[in-house]
Amino acid sequence: MLIQYRVQRWTYVAVSFVGLLILAPFAWMVSTALMTTAQTLQIPPNIIPSPATLDGTREVFNRLPFAILLYNTVAVSIGRVICTIIICSMAAYALAIIKVPGAKFILLVILALIMVPGDIFIIPSYSIITSMRLTDTLVALALPSLFDVFGVFLLYQFFRGVPKELIEAARIDGASHLRILATIVVPIARSGIISLAILTTLAEWKELLWPIVVNRSIDKMTLGPGLALLRGEYTTDWNVLMAAGVLAALPMVIIFLILQKRFIASFARSGLK
């Protein structure tokens, strides 16, 4: 495979061109974030803020309960990841390792449900959450997405690779299924669990429709919809909007840069069907 891909000068030209094109919006976001509102309204616009200022960043904290939004996002993501992993790994254990009677049928239902997009269920989910009196809570943000059929399928494929002998030996030693799941299966299928955790976290960060439907007060919002609300109120202060965008995007970008290999492997696995 490697032989025919000799790096030539045009490779660097093409890579730099594509790379810079992808980076350009980010660069403009950071640059605008460091301007004053007056600087953003210059014609023709200045590309580099001079002088650079943190006015916009300061203003973000005046207009938006940023710390609360960040806390909500992190709390909901962690809660959703933990619950999703528990629910999915228990189900995948029953299907892949215990192989309950009817496992094939349940798997078929799961595969069919993967095809049905969750956005279709916004209206009934809202009614269900309302009747549970959970609107305007953090629980409401995560609850309908905890039963992740794709996650079950992903873990099912990992759990199938766990050697049977290990499980039988543990059963003979008298270990309970819960114990086998926690101490044998999960460690062996670790990379599958991590992938599910990463994909679930990203899904929560990208959520927009469901949070704006189910929660009305800003104190119960996550970062994405919180930012979207800022747009509605202050259209002209682009430096504030961009500063908010940089601040909100930064945590996930840093996590990505640290765990780059894990993230890319997880993305590749999302194509596993």
Partner 1 sequence: MTSAAPFPLNGAEPQSGHRTLWPGGLKWRQARAGYLFLIPLLAGLIVFRFYAFGYNVWLSFTKAGAFGPPRFIGLDNYRRLLSDSQLVVALYNTVKFALIAVPGVVIVSLLCALLMQYRFRGESVFRAIVFLPAVCLPTAIILVFGWLFQTQYGLVNAAIQAMGSSPVSWFGSEAGVTAVVSLIVVYLSFSVPAIILYAGMQDIPSDVYQAAMLDGAGPVHRFFSITLPLLTPSLFFVILTSTIGILKLFDTVYILLPPVDHSVSTNYGLTLVYYYYYLAFVDAGQRGYAAAVSLFLLILILGVSIVLLRLQRRFVHYGEDG
Measured CA to CA, the distance from residue 191 to residue 199 in angstroms comes to 12
> Is the omega angle on the peptide bond into residue 101 within 30 degrees of 0, that is, cis?
no
Q: What is the CA radius of gyration of the chain?
A: 23
Q: Write out the binding residues for partner 1, residues 167-186 only, by CB under 8 A.
A: 177
Number of other CB atoms surrounding residue 107 within 10 Å: 16
Least Cβ distance, residue 233 to partner 1 (angstroms): 9
In one letter, which amino acid is 152? V
Least Cβ distance, residue 264 to partner 1 (angstroms): 6
Q: Which stretch binds partner 1 (CB under 8 A): 57-65, 134-142, 183-191, 253-261?
A: 253-261
Least Cβ distance, residue 58 to partner 1 (angstroms): 18
Q: Write out the binding residues for partner 1, residues 92-111 only, by CB under 8 A.
A: 93-95, 98-101, 103-104, 106
State which of residues 34, 35, 40, 221 lies at the interface with partner 1 (CB under 8 A). 40
Given the complex with partner 1, which of 192 and 225 has the nearer CB atom? 225
Q: Which stretch binds partner 1 (CB under 8 A): 52-60, 74-82, 188-196, 236-244?
A: 236-244
Residue 225 touching partner 1 (CB under 8 A)? yes
Q: Answer for the pair 60, 214: CB distance below 8 angstroms, yes or no.
A: no
Number of other CB atoms surrounding residue 209 within 10 Å: 11
Of 118, 130, 269, nearest in space to 207 by CA? 118
Q: How many residues bind partner 1 (CB under 8 A)?
A: 99
Measured CA to CA, the distance from residue 16 to residue 224 in angstroms comes to 30
Residue 115 touching partner 1 (CB under 8 A)? yes
Given the complex with partner 1, which of 78 and 213 has the nearer CB atom? 213
Residue 163 touching partner 1 (CB under 8 A)? no
Q: Write out the binding residues for partner 1, residues 41-80 only, by CB under 8 A.
A: 41-45, 47
Q: Answer for the pair 265, 61: CB distance below 8 angstroms, yes or no.
A: no
Residues in the chain: 273
Residue 162 touching partner 1 (CB under 8 A)? no
